[in-house]
Amino acid sequence: MGGGPRGELDGAPVGRRVVLGLLGLGAVGVVAGRSVQEELSHLLAPAQLRDPTGLTSLVPLGNTWRYYSVTGAVAPRAPSAYRLTVSGDVATSATYSYADLAALPQTSFTDTFQCVTGWHVPDVPWSGVRMADLLDLAGPTADAVGVRFRSFDGTYAVNMTLEQARADDVIVALSMYGEPVTHDHGGPVRIYSGSMYGYKSTKWLDEIEVTTNNLPGYWEDRGYPLDGIIGE
């Protein structure tokens, strides 16, 4: 597929050309190893799922994973080539390799993954480095209030307040279901932010920048709440 935006459309009508293009792929049956049905489920927000177009029968309902990428295909990055930088308004910037992250204390817990569009996946086991630990190692300056997380997909970014980022259930996740985070789920390293909606959980994480502001990120620019706290 080309590089057009995919993932949540936030209730926007799905472009007819996009849908027809995906249906055309039905002849092939899979896109990047996944089913066309699954691809459609990425594109169709709940409003479309209720739309009796006939296309809805192609969309699996229920609470299953959707693999989101606003940039289309992302080049996989091997753990050996992976680097995470922590910089910005901090006393000590740092660059971590995958091995560096794996050598830090790991926190594990099981939680429900909740996308703001309504789907959720219960009982997901996560493991990784607490964001608070990485922030403590960096030492935010006195005027720092926010953290910007960026993805090596080149487009996705999201913010949290420093306080949100320090919560016990915000981790730089290295493992999911007891296995390394898969590429489709944002591996080798993604964020998991338990008390916030899925859009705060940046996939393919490669930059943590401590900031003196709290600017909106990719989805917040498109209308999602800046704090992203589940249930608010």
Ligand X SMILES: Nc1nc2c(c(=O)[nH]1)N[C@H]1C(S)=C(S)[C@@H](COP(=O)(O)O)O[C@H]1N2
Q: Which residues bind ligand X (CB under 6 A)?
A: 7-8, 65-70, 115, 151, 153, 156, 185-186, 198-199, 201-204
The entry of ligand X, Mo ion, none that residue 180 binds, CB within 5 to 8 Å by partner kind: none
**Least gap, CB of 91 to ligand X (angstroms):** 28
Which of ligand X, Mo ion, none does residue 201 bind to, with CB < 5 to 8 Å depending on kind? Answer: ligand X
Binding mask 179-198 for Mo ion (x = CB under 5 A): -------------------x
- Measured from each CB, the residue nearest to ligand X is 198
With vertex at residue 113, the alpha carbon angle to CA 209 and CA 152, rounded to the nearest 5 degrees, is 35
Closest CA to 167 of 144, 192, 186, 190: 192
Cis upstream peptide for 188 (omega within 30°): yes
Least distance from Mo ion to the Cβ atom of residue 116, Å: 5
Name the DSSP class of 36. Answer: H
Rounded distance between C-alpha atoms, residue 161 and residue 185, angstroms: 24
Q: Which does 66 bind (CB under 5 to 8 A by kind): ligand X, Mo ion, none?
A: ligand X
Choose among 80, 98, 115, 141: nearest CA to 196. Answer: 115
- Cα 73 to its chain centre, rounded Å, is 14
Comparing CB distances to ligand X, the nearer of 137 and 155 is 155
CA dist 59 and 91 (Å) reads: 49
113 binds Mo ion (CB under 5 A): no
Contact 162, 135 (CB under 8 A): yes
**CB of 186: closest distance to ligand X in angstroms?**
6
- Cβ distance to Mo ion smaller for residue 65 or 177: 65
Structure tokens, 203? 């996939």
For Mo ion, the binding residues in 199-228 under the rule CB under 5 A are 199
